[in-house]
Amino acid sequence: MCVHNSKSGRNYAKAKLIEGCVTATVKGALARNFAVTVVSDAVAGATDQSKEAALTKLATQDLLILTSQHVFER
């Protein structure tokens, strides 16, 4: 599963390929008006370049992209 609820009420996409599962889950969560955070260092891409491209594309959506360090600091 790509998304889980956190104490803050946000949903975190994690530990899956960003080009497929994460992107699909994020789009579905946004369509349902969930607040979404993608943990950038907890997702993988088929290549480093495809991961960066997918993160760049997701950054245009109404969501947060944070590192795990930033998540734990919140």
| Rounded distance between C-alpha atoms, residue 61 and residue 73, angstroms | 23
Give mean pLDDT, residues 3-29.
Answer: 70
pLDDT at 2: 46
With a pLDDT cut of 90, the percent of the chain lying above it is: 46
User: Is the model more confident about 17 or about 44?
Assistant: 44
pTM of the entire structure?
A: 0.74
Q: Supply the pLDDT for residue 20.
A: 82
Give the residue extent of every domain in the chain. 3-69
